[in-house]
Structures are given as C-alpha cells and as structure tokens.
Structure 1
C-alpha cells in the first residue's frame, strides 16, 4: 500500500471515531439508571438508580420490606447526622469522631456515615443505641480482627454496606452500652452481628465472613428482623435464629431472609431456626456443605423460590432436623417453587399447611421466579459505589 492508501485508511479511522463520539446517541443518566434498575431486586430498585443517592441517603428508609417494615422512624427533623473521622476505639470513654461515640453515647435518631475508607478494630463489642443507622455506602469500611457488633435491647437499627469479618470471642468487661451508660458485659462469642432482645432491625448489603463463632445471631426474644442483600461466606456456623431450645420467648420471633448470597465455603445454619417463624426467599445457596436450613423445637419455615446448588461431593440434603424429626404437628418445613441443582433435595414436612408470612401492607413484597435469583443476588454484600454517581 502506497502513502496515499495509508493516509486514506488513517482518515477513515479518524472519521469513524468522530462519528461515534458526536453522532451516536448517548443514554442520559436517568435512562442509564432506569435500565440498571430493571435487573435489581425490589429493595435495590427503590434507591440505587438514583444518581443523587449521596445527598438523599435517607431515601432507603422507604425501601425496606418484610418483617422490618418501613424504617421511617429512623429519620425526621430531629435526626443527627454524624461522620466518623477516626478509626480508633475506646470502649469506655469514646472520643468524638469515632464510631462508638455516636453509636453508643448519643440518644435520639443518628445517621452515621464515614469520611473515608477505614479499618476499625473494636476493643470491645459495639453496642448500638436505638434509632441508629450505620451507613457505609461510598467508602470501604471494615470492622474486623477483634470485637464486632451487638444490638442489645434496642430497636429501629439499620446496618448497611459494612464488611465485618474475623470477629473474636471477648472476655467479660466494662463497655459503653446503649444510650451512654457504662455497663458490665459478660463473655461474648465471636459473632459478626448478635441481636439480643432487639426489634425492628434491618441488616442489608453487608459482607460477613471468617468469624470465630457465627456470622449473625437473632436471639432472646428478638423479632421483626429483615436480613437482605448480604454476602455470607467462608464460615462454619452462619446464622442462628433463636437462643436455645429452652427459650420459649423465641416462639414470637419473625425473620425474613431475602436476596442473600450464601457461599463459597459455608457449612451449616443458613439459617438454623428455633421456635419461631422464618420466611426464606429468593436467596442463592452456592457452597453449602453439611446442610443449608435446619432447626429444632418446632419452628415454622417457608422456603420460597430459592436456588440451592449442592456441592459436587458431600451432602445433597438441604434440611436438617435435630434428632431426625420429620413429622408431627409442631414441624412446618415447606418448600415452594425452590430450584435444586447438583442433586440437592429438600425434605418437607408431611401433610399440614404451608405457613404464610402474613405481612402487612408495608411489609409485603412479591417473591419472583427462581430463574431470576442469580441476577437478583449479583450485588449481594457491601456495595462498591461510584464516587461520582451510581451505587
């Protein structure tokens, strides 16, 4: 090819680039957001397509569903907005700027955000006051390598977009409790998040893994809890719902587990249920080893439109019942529209009715076809939000 031919090829290439840049229509931010929202689950579709989410963080209180209902009690004219600037931790005399200062000390409605990426090593469990939102969107927040979170006799709490991992058991000691009172705390197992006599708690879009005991416990009469969009991985005992076989107050427990991703390398308790009622819907189980859902003391379970993928080698049975119980009036383990791969199977209760969650208008959501579970859970875990627009 001569010089003229080379110049012609170059000119054609430049012209093509110019046409693409100036004449191919571009999607507006609104249209991009709309298209992105089509592939999201009901919770995410409510707020994530909003490019102004940073300035409108409180929008998410209208997006919660299931037993937690709408979290509108967490906002209002008296809301205190607080930014964490210091990753250090003093469990008895928290300093202004630290996470514990606002999470435990100040009464009233508090919305906590973070100035920058942080690795927070708590010296004692963080006890969170009522009407507190811990919002890690837009930054990379790790609570790890020692004590972790405890929700103790409080209500109306949101934990969002936090990475909680490598939590360790704690010896008894003094710690700043809810509402600024120093209390004596007994020995604590190494859980990522533990609920004790708590109500109206929303755990959404967190990544939890590699803890000494479990990842999430809902115990001692806790109820009205929604566990959504989380990524649980690399853990033996994942989620416990109900304190122990003798704690009958947990009969009133109501928990929804929805849009979560379990795996890889999760062994058991996804969840393990005692006494109460649990609706498990539209979750992806990828990496279970011993079993996925188990229980004792006659719990009620509706497993609906979940995707269970059994390991190639090992247990294929999804359910586990203490002492091998399978029948009887007290047991209600039911599978509705679930899907099973790699030979996975679900042992349902013989006879009886499928227990309904009986959601109120504010709690209700539509469980979608199991074929959509992979896309609905694709963004599970702490979010990687754009620093300029979408989350």
Structure 2
C-alpha cells in the first residue's frame, strides 16, 4: 500500500516530467517557431527551417530556382569538403587552407566553408573552378579592399552568404587559373563578381557594395544564371547583363533576378541588359538616381511583381532605353503586377506580347503578390547566423 506522502512525491515527479515534455521543446524551438512564422521566399523555405542545416549544408543545392535550375551537380558522393582556415592569399602558389587553394586548385566537386570570421584581401582576382560552392553561412566573411571574384569559362558554381565590397581594378598579371594552372590575366575592372563565358551560376544571399566599377557583371556569352536574395547598396553601376552592344553571343543570355534588395544609394543598372532576356521578379527597389531597369540592343525584360519606391529627388521613371538604334522597335520591356510608390512610373513596350521565361519544371517558381515583397526580401544579403543554429 502506497502512503499519502509517497503518493504526493510521485504526483509531483509526474508533474515535473509533464513540464519537461511539453514546455522544454517549446522553449528550445521558440526561435525556430518564430522563423517558421515568417513569409519566407521559396528558396529560403527550402532550407532555413532546418535547425540542423550545418549538418546538411548540401541541401542548399536543391533549393535554387530560375534559369540556373537545381545545383545537384555540385553535390554527390565524390564531393570534397574543404574548410578555409587561413585568410592569407598567394595568387600563384596558393597554400592549402586558403580560399584560393579550394576555389582554384582543387579540380573536383568542392564545397568550401570557413572555420571562423575572416577578412580576406585577395592580391589578384580569384578565378573559381567549375563545380565549386563557396558557402559563408555561420561566420562573417568579407572579401574586400582589393581584387575580388571572377568566374571565367566555368560552370556549376554557387556563391552564398559572402560580403564583397571595396573591390579595386587590377593591372595585368599572372594568377592561378580555374584549371589549377598559372595563367596570364589581363586588365580587370573593379567588379565584385564578374562572369565571363560562364554558365549555370547561382549568386545567392550575398551583400555587395562600394566597388570601383560594378557589383555584378554577366558577360561574353554567360547564361543560365540566377541572382537571388542579395543586398546591393551604395553603388553607381550595380548590375550589367551583356558584354557590349556589339557582342551578339549575348542574344542567348538568360538571367533570373529574384528576391533581391536594391538600395539605399544605388544609381543605375538594376540591371542594365543587352541583347538577351531577364526575368526580374519580387525585388525591392529602394530608390535610384538615373534609372532602375535599362538596356540597349533590343533586349527582352519581364518585370513582375516588383516594388519600385522612387527617390525623393532624381528620376521617377523606372526604365531607360538607349536611343538611336536601328532595332528600337524590337524592345520588349513589360511590367506585370508591379507596384509603384513615391510617384514611380514604368514606360512599358506598347503592344506586342509579354515575353515569358519559359522555365523548365526544375527552374519554375511561383511569383508572389507584390504586397509580400518586403517580407520576401527582408533577409536579403549575407546571413548573420546565431550560435543556436538558426539563420
């Protein structure tokens, strides 16, 4: 027979167990629940709710949308996991443990992470090899104050959660090439990231600002590119799609620009497009001085469900078109379900069809209502991930 005293102790013991079972998980996952309550875009929803994302970093490769498609070529059994432990740089003889060794020397699939917060000053542009992922989640990585990134004749590359800024023009010189061999590199403008004859490139969740030339160039026949979740700010020329007016190979260029935050203090080229096609969707434009969307050589651009907030001073018109061309009537700049604030306006192409992205099944995504743009872009830029595993 159980005494009253023993029964009293047993009741309190069982109550304590109930409290542990029902309340501790709620406490532990409070931040996760808050995260799940956000109106995340489809890319972030794919991996961010997983509190153990550090163990499953490669899940990110399944989350891309737009013309880049899925990045599953970047993962698999043969994947090399490489950790940067040294912030130094040697452009010709990179040492193991440095970023250049992982990005340029290793010629197999490689997933690059960082041991700790780092400020990396590249002595020459970093030429990134095919099938390389640079993943800065969990730490704060700056590539700044000299040379920056170039993707030259390479494919299947992810650049994720890096802060790239104050990039400077570079004189010609020798550097470790993307094939692991020293090569001669000509004059390089001061861009944060430049694509040259590159394909299947995903630029996601980076913060880019204050560079000598531009922040992101997609040039010389580069195509199948998705630019997503980035924060572009403090820059004159932001994004160039297409090498120059005479480079007709860019007719085949296809770029998706989605969930990015432009501003403050961006002047022009968000993007400027030549020849090819761009699908620009669910982006936030926090002002401009000259224009937001522009181009030449009869490009096609579908602007869909973007929020354009015009500046207090400067041009209220979103678009700019280079005039005096023989193919002016081939312009296709269309605005579909965009929203305009502070007097912003969009000079659309009169008549004709609205060009469709014609995405494949793995590229397609649902463009959300423009009312959600602020929520969809609120996490744009490089992540500041907490010690509790939540990004």
Compute the TM-score of the two structures, normalised by the length of structure 1. 0.92
Are the counterparts in 1 of residues 31 and 390 from structure 2 also a CA contact under 8 Å? Answer: no
State the distance in 2 between where 1:154 and 1:326 align. Answer: 34
Aligned 1:39-118 pairs, distance under 5 A: 39-118=39-118
Are the counterparts in 1 of residues 287 and 308 from structure 2 also a CA contact under 8 Å? Answer: no
Q: Which residue of 1 aligns with 2:373?
A: 373
State the distance in 1 between where 2:28 and 2:220 align. Answer: 47
State the distance in 1 between where 2:268 and 2:331 align. Answer: 20
State the distance in 2 between where 1:196 and 1:285 align. Answer: 27
Are the counterparts in 1 of residues 238 and 271 from structure 2 also a CA contact under 8 Å? Answer: yes
Q: Which residue of 2 aligns with 1:153?
A: 153
State the distance in 1 between where 2:327 and 2:284 align. Answer: 27
Are the counterparts in 2 of residues 199 and 223 from structure 1 also a CA contact under 8 Å? Answer: yes
Q: Which residue of 2 aligns with 1:4?
A: none
State the distance in 2 between where 1:229 and 1:259 align. Answer: 5
State the distance in 2 between where 1:128 and 1:241 align. Answer: 20
3-state SS, counterpart of residue 33 of structure 1: helix
3-state SS, counterpart of residue 175 of structure 1: strand
* Number of residue-to-residue matches in the alignment: 372
State the distance in 2 between where 1:265 and 1:325 align. Answer: 30
Q: Which residue of 1 aligns with 2:248?
A: 248
Are the counterparts in 1 of residues 161 and 205 from structure 2 also a CA contact under 8 Å? Answer: yes
Q: Which residue of 2 aligns with 1:356?
A: 356
Alpha-carbon shift at residue 24 of structure 1 (Å): 7.1
3-state SS, counterpart of residue 26 of structure 2: coil
Q: Which residue of 2 aligns with 1:259?
A: 259
Alpha-carbon shift at residue 310 of structure 1 (Å): 0.3
Alpha-carbon shift at residue 189 of structure 1 (Å): 0.2
State the distance in 2 between where 1:92 and 1:248 align. Answer: 34
3-state SS, counterpart of residue 167 of structure 1: coil
Aligned 1:167-186 pairs, distance under 5 A: 167-186=167-186
Q: Which residue of 1 aligns with 2:14?
A: none
Q: Which residue of 2 aligns with 1:189?
A: 189
Alpha-carbon shift at residue 26 of structure 1 (Å): 6.2
Aligned 1:211-230 pairs, distance under 5 A: 211-230=211-230
Are the counterparts in 2 of residues 326 and 350 from structure 1 also a CA contact under 8 Å? Answer: no
3-state SS, counterpart of residue 60 of structure 2: helix
State the distance in 1 between where 2:171 and 2:32 align. Answer: 48
State the distance in 2 between where 1:81 and 1:214 align. Answer: 31
Alpha-carbon shift at residue 349 of structure 1 (Å): 0.5
State the distance in 1 between where 2:80 and 2:254 align. Answer: 30
2:324 is the counterpart of 1:330: no
Aligned 1:304-343 pairs, distance under 5 A: 304-323=304-323, 328-343=328-343
1:27-68, Cα deviation, whole Å (9 max, x unpaired): 365675355234100000000010000010000111000000
State the distance in 2 between where 1:30 and 1:324 align. Answer: 60
Are the counterparts in 2 of residues 103 and 127 from structure 1 also a CA contact under 8 Å? Answer: yes
Compute the TM-score of the two structures, normalised by the length of structure 2. 0.92
State the distance in 1 between where 2:379 and 2:237 align. Answer: 23
Change in CA separation of 1:55 and 1:237 when aligned onto 2, cut-off 3 Å = same
Alpha-carbon shift at residue 323 of structure 1 (Å): 1.6
RMSD, matched Cα = 1.9
Change in CA separation of 1:229 and 1:108 when aligned onto 2, cut-off 3 Å = same
3-state SS, counterpart of residue 295 of structure 1: strand
Alpha-carbon shift at residue 387 of structure 1 (Å): 1.9
Alpha-carbon shift at residue 326 of structure 1 (Å): 12
Unaligned runs of 5+ in 2: 1-18
Q: Which residue of 2 aligns with 1:36?
A: 35
Are the counterparts in 2 of residues 277 and 300 from structure 1 also a CA contact under 8 Å? Answer: yes
State the distance in 2 between where 1:310 and 1:323 align. Answer: 23
State the distance in 2 between where 1:34 and 1:67 align. Answer: 32
Choose 329-338 or 123-132, whichever is displaced more: 329-338
Are the counterparts in 2 of residues 285 and 308 from structure 1 also a CA contact under 8 Å? Answer: yes
1:82-103, Cα deviation, whole Å (9 max, x unpaired): 0000000000000011000010
Q: Which residue of 2 aligns with 1:207?
A: 207
State the distance in 2 between where 1:261 and 1:34 align. Answer: 25
3-state SS, counterpart of residue 320 of structure 1: strand
